[in-house]
A and B are shown apart, each in its own frame.
Chain A
Amino acid sequence: MRTQAVAGALAGAPPSISRWRSLLTQESITTIVVSLIVAAAVLLPLATLVVSSFRVLDDMGFSTTWGLANYRALIYDPVIPGAFVNTLIICTGATVLATFLGVSLAWINARTNCPWRERLEPFNLIPFFLSPFVGAIAWHNLAAPKTGLLNAWARNLFGIDGYILNVDNIYGIIWVTGIFFTPLVYLFVVGSLRRMDPSLEDSARTTGAGLLRTTLTVTLPLVAPGIISGAIIVFVTTAGDFGVPFKLGAPYGYETLTTQIFSKAVGDDANHYLGASMSMALGAITALFIYIQQRYIAPRSFTTVTGKGFRPNVLDLGRWKWVAFVYNIIFILVAVVLPILCLLVVSLHPVWEGEIILSDITLRNYVKTLAFWRPDSIQAATNGIINSFILAFSGATIAMVLSLVVSHMIHRTKGAGSRVLEILCVIPIGFPGIVLAMGVLVTYIQTPIYATLWILLLGYITRFFPYGQRNISSVMLAISEELDQSSRMAGASWLTTLRRITIPLLKPGIFAGWILLFVIFLRELSISIILYTSGTETLSVGVYYLANFENEPLTSALSIAQTVVLLLCIVIFRRAAGREALTA
């Protein structure tokens, strides 16, 4: 009865048509088309950027030759090397601060019995929805040496000379960037903490490990991929952030790479080629970090959710829960309440000199920045509002459709193509918005899309669709592949499976990604500042314009308007998508 390997000839030659049919499936056609689109969008700007960085502009600014002069400038320029060092210091500081705050707050909210944690969570996430540039403006108004509200109070209440706080320096940049990017880490960690099978923790505690030990040796290592991802994203985002150093650093002699790229590459004596070489330097740092993250984190992704359900439970902190509560409240106070209140106060004054003068209070600043129908309104501000809504809505939608298809290809189709796509999706994360924007600028400056909203849309999607993709992927990895496979076995095609099983199961991830992108686009500054022209200002460019050419109260007024819109987004989307969407 032993069965030998049957070596006999296989019978029957099929028509050659079936060979083609096996290649041209819904799945393979979509894969090829999407891969080509993504490859063109991602690789073209970067390739042009590399080429541009070797073109040297002559002294007259008319013709170019090939050479390394742009790279020599990185070392011998009087400002750029210092900007390089400042950038590294700021990124490290902000990453440490944001990771510590983000992980601790996520843990308090997801795994402990901290009082009113369900109510605290939305407030913890608010800074994430707001613009760090606006945060910098607010903190400048709070803690600038002379005009800062907190310093003015200190002088009046305690009779102190000078100031107690000063954010117009590197520490101020780290502080504002750190608290504003805390929710990035939080969002990366809280989902997996909440989904974590509590029996993993319970089993550690039954071995006699205490609460702290269990948290440090079991809970946090289990979500380590999320923590590291969050930290790296904070680092790279900080490196590419333009608004905070522009507000708190550049005017006081603290230049960073982004402020240097901006001031040397855009302006009256613009030198795109020098901007390109600086972008290459900045991109090299961030790309290296992303590369390290990919190598380190990729083999360590855990599937902690199966098709089986389990009950969630939380740790009892005892009396310490009040410490956790106060800690959380303080974060909300410095990250949300104080900055917004301060902006509101400043925006109601005709001029701001650090004093609240009740008799001067006026709404004139809001009229000038928001009332687009009036001839005396400031065009840069009113244009920005309309443009940003168009960009955010269309950009988020297109990017999520792309993300969904791409994620599915990476995680469910196992071929050479999926590996290529995976790499393509990491590349934009490796390069800050301002760098990619430089690439987009030098690539398309001679095409009709330059000076339209299309170039901004292209820049936005190329840079940020991987965020959406990662959002979907994290949920997809947590969902057993057998749920998809069983639909195929039930007779459903690839597309039907996508529509009826995969997408409904991914809904939280899709919503979360859409919100993430909508908000990012609505407050985007570093790409917009490079790619905008007169008429295609965005909301944040409007704020920039006011900060640069008008006064603090007008800037605060538009900042408050942007903040109100973003806060409204939170409310609308929390209602539409539910709690799970924000924390998935």
Chain B
Amino acid sequence: MENQNATPPYLEVRGLVKWFGNDRAVDGISFGVERGKFLTLLGPSGCGKTTTLMSIAGLHGIDDGEIRVGGVTYTSAKDKLFMPPEKRDIGMVFQSYAIWPHMTVTQNVAYPLEIRKVEREEIDSRVADVLRLVGLSDMAGKLATQLSGGQQQRAALARAIVSRPRLLLFDEPLSNLDLKLREQMRVELKRIQHEVGITSVYVTHDQAEALVMSDDIIVMSKGHIEQMGGPHEIYARPINRYVSNFIGVANLLEGRVIRVTEPGRGEFELNHGNEHVRVPCCLGEGVSEGASAVLSVRPEDVEATREDRGAPRLEGSVLEAIFLGNYVDCRVRWGEFEWKVLAHPRERLRPGERVFLHLNPNHSLAVQP
């Protein structure tokens, strides 16, 4: 993303700013998406992700910045350019599905093609194709109101992709579905997007959704970007406390990097009551010697045993141990702090027991506060 000299990405958002009254909903963000990729904007409600999506769609104007798709300028605040939404050739799936209740499934899906004045026979065959793709062939003649939530979702997707648009936008499309259907639709959406190969931007507050579906994830908060990267990178190397906390589960301990031992590695000093415990760690981006930082350790990277392996000695007491078959979900009190640990079942930890915690130095990451 930093290389400005390479050919620009397919979707390019630069310096986007959007005000709502006195609220700076989007605060000058920039990013790009390569052709055919699936980007997720992830963050809690009010972080500006939906506003960003609506700006790309052209459903509202922007106050500063520029949006381009495939070299075509969609919006540019500086040049006072605004392409109306219907000219942008974008497919969009809305949170409420927005399936028109006065039309059948076929009429809904055929609509974008009719608008584009496609020949009747071609409309029929393309609608049939896309309904087969989303698995709604049996429902073609049904009124939209006769569909279940999941079926409306599929119909909305079919309508969005039938015209083979330049870009596909999703506004929290799964948030109205129940968990089981949501998990199933995640995989299916990703499969269909992959099959049709349309560049996609997806908005969600569900980190699991983001991890499963995306090629790239942008974590947002308060109108700006916290981090952008692939799902694995975001999970394994969060840039700061916010991202680490938002993606997955992590133990986050405050302290300080006291020494850099070799490039990318160092020693982290944890505050534990009056004493200081030093543990080896990896250094995240922007973390330097002497700086106060946060140590982020995932529960699966902490080992809890009865055996004392010497320094660094982290000794605590088990608060809770829930046996889940292949692992034990533990909470271990250590001074003021409560560790979340996935322990091995053979340890057979029980509440109240003294245990020693061993952090995997390769996955103990010092990140920005």
CA distance A485 to B85 in the complex (A): 9
Cβ of B222 under 8 Å from chain A = no
Asked whether A490 lies within 8 Å of B115 as measured between CB atoms, the reply is: yes
- Complex CA distance for A286 and B285, rounded to whole angstroms: 67
Instruction: Say whether chain A's binding surface is mostly helix, strand, loop, or mixed.
Output: loop
A489 touches B85 (CB 8 A): yes
Report Cα–Cα, A163/B228, bound state, in Å.
87
The residue that B98 contacts in the complex, of A13, A18, A307, A414, with Cβ under 8 A, is A307
B76 interfacial by beta-carbon distance below 8 Å: yes
Distance A192 CA – B91 CA, assembled complex (angstroms): 33
A309 with B145: CB separation less than 8 A: yes
* Residue-wise interface mask of B (77-98) relative to A, using a CB-CB cutoff of 8 A (1 in contact, 0 not): 0111110111111111011111
Binds A, one of B26-34, B259-267, B336-344, B349-357: B26-34
- Within the assembled complex, what's the spacing in Å between the Cα atoms of A10 and B28? 14
- Is B225 an interface position by the 8 A CB rule? yes
Contact B94 A7 (CB under 8 A): no
Q: Are A480 and B285 in contact (CB under 8 A)?
A: no
A14 to B68, CA, bound (A): 14
> Would B112 and A307 count as touching, CB distance under 8 A?
no
Q: Find the B residue at minimum CB distance from A483.
A: B98
| Interface residue B141 (Cβ < 8 Å from any Cβ of A) | no
Q: Which residues of B contact A493 (CB under 8 A)?
A: 84, 86
A residues 399-424 touching B (CB-CB < 8 Å): 414
The reply to whether A307 and B101 form a contact with Cβ atoms under 8 Å apart is yes
Question: What sequence of 0s and 1s flags, for each residue 15-43 of chain B, a beta carbon within 8 Å of any chain A beta carbon?
Answer: 10000000000001111000000000000
- Closest chain-B Cβ to A581's Cβ sits at a distance in Å of 15
Residue A487 at the chain B interface, CB threshold 8 Å: yes
Given A3-B228, A6-B14, A482 and B86 contact (CB-CB distance below 8 Å):
no
B51 contacts which chain A residues (CB < 8 A)? none
User: Is A5 at the interface (CB under 8 A from chain B)?
Assistant: yes
Interface: B360 (CB within 8 A): no
- Whether the Cβ atoms of B15 and A3 lie closer than 8 Å is no
Shortest distance between the CB of A252 and any CB in chain B (Å): 54
B201 located at the interface, meaning its Cβ lies under 8 Å from any Cβ of chain A in the complex: no
Task: Flag whether B317 is at the interface (Cβ < 8 A).
Answer: no
Shortest CB distance A497–B (Å)? 8
Q: Cβ of B208: which chain A residues have Cβ within 8 Å of it? A: none
| Contact between B176 and A308, CB atoms less than 8 A apart | yes
Q: Which of B29, B89, B100, B286 contacts A505 (CB 8 A)?
A: B100
- Inter-chain contact A5/B30, CB cutoff 8 Å: yes
Which residues of A (6-52) have their CB < 8 Å from a CB of B?
A: 6-8, 10, 12-14, 18-19, 22, 25
Does any Cβ of B come within 8 Å of A224's Cβ? no
B246 within 8 A of A: no
Interface size class of A (residues with CB under 8 A): 35 or more
Which of B1, B57, B101, B285 contacts A309, CB < 8 Å? B101
Residue on A nearest B171 in the bound complex, by CB = A482
A8 to B152 Cα, complex, angstroms: 43
Residues in A with CB closer than 8 Å to B15 are: 5-7, 10
Which size class do B's interface residues fall under? 35 or more
* Nearest-neighbor residue (CB-CB) of B224 within chain A: A5
Judge whether B292 is part of the interface by a CB distance below 8 angstroms: no
Chain B nearest CB, measured from A505 CB (Å) = 6
A22: B residues at CB distance < 8 A: 80-82
Complex CA gap A153/B235 in Å reads: 90
B80 near A491 with CB under 8 A, answer: no
Taken together as a complex, chains A and B put the C-alpha atoms of A75 and B332 apart, in Å, by 83
- A1 touching B101, Cβ below 8 Å: no
**A496 interface residue (CB < 8 Å to B):** yes
With beta carbons under 8 angstroms apart, the residue of A8, A306, A501 that contacts B100 is A501
Q: Does A2 count as interface, using CB distance less than 8 angstroms?
A: yes
CB pair A3 B98 closer than 8 Å: no
Contact of B73 (CB < 8 Å), options: A5, A12, A492: A12
Q: Is A312 an interface residue (CB 8 A)?
A: no
Q: Which of B4, B14, B87 has the most CB of A within 10 A?
A: B14
Q: Is A6 a contact partner of B30 (Cβ separation < 8 A)?
A: yes
Complex Cα–Cα for A494 and B86 (A): 8
Q: Which of A283-309 contact B (CB under 8 A)?
A: 306-309
Of all chain A residues, which has the CB nearest B285? A2
- Chain A neighbourhood of B73, CB < 8 A: 12, 14
Kindly state whether residue B233 has any CB partner on chain A within 8 Å: yes
CB–CB B229/A1 < 8 A: yes
In the complex with contacts A3-B31, A12-B73, A490-B163 CB distance below 8 A:
yes
Docked Cα-Cα span, A541 to B345, in Å, equals 93
Interface check A488, CB cutoff 8 A: yes
8 A Cβ contacts from B59-86 to A: 59-60, 66, 73, 76, 78-82, 84-86
**A483 / chain B contacts, CB cutoff of 8 Å:** 98, 100
Task: Decide if B294 is an interface residue (CB 8 Å cutoff).
Answer: no
A494 to B115, CA, bound (A): 12
A482 and B156 alpha carbons, distance in the complex (Å) = 12
B152–A10 CB distance below 8 A: no
Q: How far is the CA of A494 from the CA of B84 in the complex (A)?
A: 9
Q: Are A3 and B80 in contact (CB under 8 A)?
A: no
Interface residue A486 (Cβ < 8 Å from any Cβ of B): yes
In the complex, per-residue mask of B284-306: 1 if CB is within 8 Å of any chain A CB, else 0: 01100000000000000000000
Asked if B250 is at the interface of the complex by the 8 Å CB criterion, the answer is no
Task: Kindly state the separation between the CA atoms of A500 and B14 in the bound complex, as whole angstroms.
Answer: 35
Q: Contacts A309-B145, A483-B100 hold; do A488 and B30 have CB atoms under 8 A apart? A: no
- B86 & A307 in contact (Cβ 8 Å cutoff): no
Contact status A1-B228, CB under 8 Å: yes
Those of B133-182 within 8 Å (CB) of chain A: 145, 149, 152, 156, 159-160, 163, 169, 176
A496 touches B102 (CB 8 A): no
A523 to chain B, nearest CB (A): 33
CB-nearest residue of chain B relative to A306? B96
Contact between B89 and A491, CB atoms less than 8 A apart: yes
A7 to B90, CA, bound (A): 27
CB distance from B366 to the nearest CB of A (A): 16
What are 12 contact pairs spanning A and B, CB under 8 A? A4-B30, A10-B76, A14-B73, A486-B159, A487-B111, A488-B85, A489-B86, A489-B92, A489-B169, A491-B163, A492-B115, A505-B102
CB-based closest 10 A-B pairs? A482-B98, A490-B112, A486-B98, A489-B92, A6-B30, A482-B94, A488-B85, A307-B96, A491-B115, A309-B145
User: Which chain B residues have a beta carbon within 8 Å of chain A's beta carbons?
Assistant: 1-2, 4, 14-15, 28-31, 57-60, 66, 73, 76, 78-82, 84-92, 94-102, 111-112, 115-116, 145, 149, 152, 156, 159-160, 163, 169, 176, 218, 224-225, 227-229, 233, 239, 285-286
